[in-house]
A and B are shown apart, each in its own frame.
Chain A
Amino acid sequence: MRTHNRKRAFIAIALIGLVMLSTLWAAGTQEQTKQEGPIEVTFWSLFTGGDGEFFDAMIDEFNRTHTDIVAKTDTVKFDNYYTKLTTALSAKNAPDVVVVHQSNLLGYVPRGVFLPLDDLLAKNNAPLDDFVAAPLEAVKYDGKTYALPLDVHALIMYYNTDLFAQAGITKVPQTYAEVIAAAQAVQAKTGAMGLAVDNTTATYKAYTLTRLFMSMLEQQGTSLLSADNTKANFNNAAGEQALKALIDMVQLYKTTPAGLDYDGAVNAFRMGKAAIHFNGVWATGSFEKQADLNFKAVGLPPMLGKPAAWSGSHTLAIPVQRTQDPAKLDAAITFILWMTEHGDMWAKAGHIPTRNSVYEKESFTSLPHRKDYADAASFAFAPPATPAWEEVYSTTSDMLEYAVANNQNVKTALQAMETKINSIIASY
């Protein structure tokens, strides 16, 4: 009986060994055939839902029109995207091209994980003067370009044309006073919410308050942090005006309910129950799909001075690899340039293209709303380029939320924010 068992064991081990060997051999063979075909550009994107569908359509179109390059994408669920990206970058096995928000890009760049692109762009005759100036400047660090901007998604104003008509409003509000007056008029006449601006974090963080705060500071000619990004710059008259404007919306003029979260604000506008809504351009898609909603989307009004609006930007960057393959790099640049050139396809998701040539394309101008707010790209400003930005952004958000919810004294609030922000920046 013992020899019988031994024989069985031997056969089992031999079979397992055979399976393992054949798998290894198969894996080896696959790699060989790949090198003879088109160059593969691997890619991570963080777009899901509506954005994801439009993006995938662009990838398909790229692959259809390019026989020498194949773009392979792998969508990562947005919440885990930057965790996955950070780990891949530290292990130096990130894909060839990645989507990175401009505000996150400058957190990675000083750590040397993204390739400076200037030489590659020159080598491939990239039409850099076709790019809108502001978003292209925002991806530069120390004079070098670290990514190309795919889009600008700015904070804009949506307004319900039916409610405006019912309240007798004929002029699009521009100043803060006009915005409040319009909101109150609609509220009085129709009972709808005047100003749907989220001010409380529930499922989504209430970043809108910070975005408005930053925009209002820029509208007054100043910015959130000092020029060298080492100190807070908002504990002053401009900051007081901006914070007061945010608090008064809720506490004084009552145009916005307290405790309104992002979903509440978006849905109020979508169901036609709110007159004015401040949000990023990404909301356009879902509003368009709403059958009985008649609205217009325009750039954020220059409520406290000159036009200025917070905007984010999706950029395409090339991670540093262990060994750089020049053919792959050229393919990656071709891919990135093509994607930015076809901003009209991406604009279907509501985003603003970054190439001037796209603005003239009929496929772009024929899209509803997009051209109405496209000029926002020219007065968009980038968040401060400091590694402390994520923490500053998150903390400022919490403190603004608190100030608005509790009708905090403006001077006290700003003082507390300044102390906290300065200590955060100092810890980096």
Chain B
Amino acid sequence: MAIPGNKDTRDGIIFALPFLLVYLVFMVFPLGFGLFISFFNWDILSSGAFVGWANYRRLFQDELFFSSLWHTVEFVLITTPVLMVLGFSMALLVTGNSPLRKVSEHVFFIPYILSMTVVGTLWAWLMQRDYGLLNQIVRQLGGESVGWLTNPKQAMWSVGIATYWWTAGFNMILFSAGIKQISKEIYESSQIDGANFLQTLFRITIPLVKPTAALCLILQVIASFNVFGQVYVMTGGGPHGRTRVLTQYIYEAGFRYFKMGYSAAMAYILFLIILVISVIQYVALGKERS
């Protein structure tokens, strides 16, 4: 017993109870209810009709489902590698000896505390093709206006850029913690042996930070698959649906078109995809550690 006279089990349960209740009501119940609804045609306002696997059959024939899924995958591919590298680089700067390190830490992390609508609206205005600040600068430098959000080839990358600015700070925090865990003695002995910066980086820092990188990768992929806010606010899924991600289609199907059952079915497929990918990552990266 940690404190004599207390009953740890009882106290533990009581302390955890409020969180557990909220968790059950807002996480576990909807998870189960969502699966339940996916077997119905339900428009929220009236009672549903049982349709068995029909919603799942329908989504495998829905080209909009596949194109939205592909756009989500595009987003994951555009953001994950860059955010990992950016986060790691920022962490290097922040854990190093540079005089800028305190300022950098704040500058890199502050965007993360902004809400997603603020970030989306801000970048949407910066990137507005005719009057946005970015293109004003481009034109001053003699270039042509870039269709950041209106060019179908550019739009997803533009959302990516806003995302880098917004969330790289979080990865920086994770990597900083990972780097700080590396024993100083290793660095000292490598310095005595005459290792330069690059050798230290590639032979010591990166290998020893792999567990953190694995965690960061798993979290990053899950978060990227769930992207909704920045895309919705900045491009509305446009131009002509080119950046509509699966979460947006799920939202539209459920809340705009009142096809709750279909929406739930798509959400469950997304959940399964993320689950499978996360498990694969966990197993593959876990093996490296041992």
Contact = CB atoms under 8 A, between A and B. Distances in A.
Interface of A: 2, 82-83, 86-87, 89-90, 107-108, 111-113, 200-206, 259-261, 263-264, 267-268, 387-388, 390-391, 394, 398-399, 401-402, 405, 427
A406 to B, nearest CB: 9
B238 A264 contact: no
Interface string B238-254: 11110000000000100
Interface in B220-239: 233-239
A310 B65 CA distance: 30
Nearest to A193: B130
B256 A205 contact: no
A331 to B, nearest CB: 25
B238 A201 contact: yes
Contacts of A268: 130
8 contacts: A82-B256, A86-B255, A202-B124, A387-B258, A388-B257, A391-B257, A399-B240, A402-B241
Interface string B156-177: 0000000000000000000000
A387 B45 CA distance: 13
Interface residues of B, number: 32
Contacts of A390: 256-257
Given A200-B238, A203-B236, A394 B45 contact: no
Contact of B239 (A112, A200, A387, A391): A200
Contacts of A394: 252, 256
Contact of A202 (B44, B45, B149, B256): B149
Contacts of B238: 200-202, 205-206, 398, 401
A201 B124 CA distance: 12
Interface in B93-151: 121, 124, 128-131, 147, 149-151
B74 interface: no
Interface in B176-227: none
A388 B43 CA distance: 12
Interface string B35-54: 00000000111100000000
The 6 A-B pairs with the shortest beta carbon distances in the complex, nearest first, are: A201-B238, A401-B240, A111-B45, A264-B130, A259-B150, A402-B240
A259 B45 contact: no
Contacts of A391: 252, 256-257
B129 A261 contact: yes
B255 A202 contact: no
Given A201-B236, A202-B236, A267 B124 contact: no
Contacts of B259: 427
A391 B255 CA distance: 11
A327 to B, nearest CB: 27
